[in-house]
Structure 1
Amino acid sequence: MGTTVSVRALTKEYGRARVLDGIDLAIGPGVTGLLGPNGAGKTTLLRCLATTLAPDGGEIRVLGHDPADRARRIEIRRRLGYLPQDPGYYPHFTAFELVDYVAILKEITDRRTRYREVRRVLAEVDLADRSQTKVRKLSGGMRQRLAFAQALLGDPDVLILDEPTVGLDPEQRMRFRALVSRLGEGRTVLLSTHQTEDVAALCELVVVQHRGRVIFQGAPRDIAAAAKGQVWLSESPPDGGSRLFWRTADGRYRSLGDPPPNAVPADPTVEDGYLLLLGEPAEVAA
């Protein structure tokens, strides 16, 4: 199976601000990670792909369909699962009732089939024992997992996940990684995240978006390799104006860019490559 999601010259503006500035993107089955600083346009891009927001220009194809066409848009939605960054909740529903309601919206009309599917997705996210708990009584991490459960309804061909690990503790994130890695076998999963370790652990492809443009697309090892020869460990902090350094747990300083005095090279990571790729915005964040 080839490309399942493609974008060409995509643009979107809010007032005078151009949030998407000619995005070109092509992804296929497997797990793709979308990285970028706040304000890069990641959520806007995902909303366009999930058919909840119309772009101002350019073309989108999801599973071969054009979401600008109403009939094709409905077909995309039947085969797509979407976890938005800020999912809405009905606090007086139970977890089961909320997912069941979304299942009805997804046209799973046979009650027996629907209930079986609701129980399946709640079990996938380890919420089977909370199915009768009111949403308002669930923790933030549980609500995030509940939102993920509704995205899994109907075994979608394309999953779009916007910051899916927000609110998850380390054990839950490990379980999430295991689930997503399995889901990525034979289907397309596109997830945005600020967690570079999730990208390194999960993704076959990483896309870096900055100021409304795609500035990198490749394997995680490629973005890490871009920092080769620019990552250093030293006993003292580097001199100069660079703010891309931090003190590690063993008391040494890890810095990016030019080598400090008496520094030794360190193996680069996805995070190192990502920070160097962003340049000045990364220095400000650091």
Structure 2
Amino acid sequence: MSVVVEGLTKTYGRRHALDGLSFTAGTGVTGLLGPNGAGKTTLIRLLATVLAPDRGTMRLLGRDPATERQAIRRRLGYVPQEPGYHRGFTVFEFVDYVAILKEMADRRTRHDEVRRVIDEVGLADVSGRRIRALSGGMRRRIGIAQALLGDPELVLLDEPTAGLDSEQRLRFRDLIARAGEGRTVILSTHQIEDVAALCAKVVVLKDGGSVFEGTPKELRGLAEGRTWVGGRKEGPLCRHTGEGVFRTLGDPPPGARPAEPTVEDGYLLLLHEAAPAATR
């Protein structure tokens, strides 16, 4: 496994951002799901070696970040939730700047690599434009480009599709799917449809712990036989649909009309019923 996390704990004052979290991730795309405050961004920053845990252990690409952080960073690509671009730079200048920070010293070789990743994310035609003149979707693609410099073995993406429209998210799904070929990608997101479309594995966080680790199909299966529609609102996990009926999650009453569950149904049911201490 490229990522092995055991008993990870991180606190801020009295608040536990992570509380005894354990999970593994291998080649392909692993999705991190969870409500606000579940610990997703803290976990991504720990995996990126930006933070150190208070307790617990991590093995990243077979190495211990406590003693081999620089070696891990040389094989790591990271897109934070707020990348903080130098908006006066052109696309090429910014990605080249990151390449220098990644210790790519030979100018010709470095520029070839910069052009490669810019082309890979479909920005070759705007590589000379300043970042401040680009759309939000293009700026997100710059983040992916700099993360792919040097062909890293582990790529960490924190909410890369936040704020994008449906068409832009489809383009990003294609980018992320290609990034996950032959390497490990960990994707933190609120977009359940991105996880369903992209991820071979999903980890659901709640209150700093893991309450589920499995495939999207297995997550959807948690709502199998417990998704139904009716003519009135029943229970807390009930929503009115555009077809004029109520879709409800939970144990169905006699005579209820069953509905095909989705990954979102399994996720919502899990969060409603999972005890925070289940995996601590």
Q: TM-score range by the shorter chain?
A: over 0.9
Contact 1:144 1:167 (C-alpha < 8 Å) held by counterparts: no
Partner of 1:22: 20
Instruction: Please give the alpha-carbon distance, in whole angstroms, between the structure 2 residues aligned to 1:92 and 1:187.
Output: 32
Partner of 1:284: none
Structure 1 residue 237 corresponds to structure 2 residue 248: no
Instruction: Please give the alpha-carbon distance, in whole angstroms, between the structure 1 residues aligned to 2:251 and 2:213.
Output: 25
| TM-score, normalisation: structure 2 | 0.93
Could you list the runs of 5+ residues in structure 1 that have no partner in the other structure? 282-286
Match for 2:214 among 211, 218, 227? 218
Partner of 1:134: 130
Instruction: Please give the alpha-carbon distance, in whole angstroms, between the structure 1 residues aligned to 2:138 and 2:181.
Output: 25
Deviation at 1:263, TM superposition (A): 3.3
Deviation at 1:146, TM superposition (A): 1.1
Q: Deviations over 1:76-117 (max 9, x none)?
A: 001010011111111111111111100011111111111121
| TM-score, normalisation: structure 1 | 0.91
Match for 2:270 among 261, 272, 277? 277
Deviation at 1:261, TM superposition (A): 7.5
| SS, match of residue 66 in structure 2 | coil
Could you list the runs of 5+ residues in structure 2 that have no partner in the other structure? 275-280
Range that drifts further, 29-38 or 109-118: 109-118
Partner of 2:242: 249
Contact 1:50 1:82 (C-alpha < 8 Å) held by counterparts: yes
Partner of 2:116: 120
Paired letter, 1:276:
L
Instruction: Please give the alpha-carbon distance, in whole angstroms, between the structure 2 residues aligned to 1:21 and 1:165.
Output: 27
Q: How does 1:136-155 map to 2 (within 5 A)?
A: 136-155=132-151
Q: Deviations over 1:53-91 (max 9, x none)?
A: 11111111101111111xx11110010100111111111
| SS, match of residue 110 in structure 2 | helix
Paired letter, 2:232:
P
Contact 1:237 1:260 (C-alpha < 8 Å) held by counterparts: no
Q: Deviations over 1:153-206 (max 9, x none)?
A: 111100110111113332222222222222222211110111111111111110
Partner of 1:32: 30
Instruction: Please give the alpha-carbon distance, in whole angstroms, between the structure 2 residues aligned to 1:73 and 1:157.
Output: 15
Deviation at 1:260, TM superposition (A): 6.1
Contact 1:238 1:261 (C-alpha < 8 Å) held by counterparts: no
Partner of 1:48: 46
| Identity percentage of aligned residues | 62
Q: Deviations over 1:251-281 (max 9, x none)?
A: 2221111436853111111100000000079
Instruction: Please give the alpha-carbon distance, in whole angstroms, between the structure 2 residues aligned to 1:141 and 1:176.
Output: 9
| SS, match of residue 122 in structure 1 | helix
Paired letter, 2:167:
E
Paired letter, 1:39:
G
Partner of 2:189: 193
Q: RMSD value over aligned CA atoms?
A: 1.6
**Aligned pair count?**
274
Deviation at 1:209, TM superposition (A): 0.5
Instruction: Please give the alpha-carbon distance, in whole angstroms, between the structure 1 residues aligned to 2:62 and 2:252.
Output: 48
Contact 1:220 1:270 (C-alpha < 8 Å) held by counterparts: yes
Instruction: Please give the alpha-carbon distance, in whole angstroms, between the structure 1 residues aligned to 2:203 and 2:215.
Output: 9
Contact 1:163 1:193 (C-alpha < 8 Å) held by counterparts: yes
Instruction: Please give the alpha-carbon distance, in whole angstroms, between the structure 2 residues aligned to 1:25 and 1:88.
Output: 29
Match for 1:64 among 56, 62, 65? 62
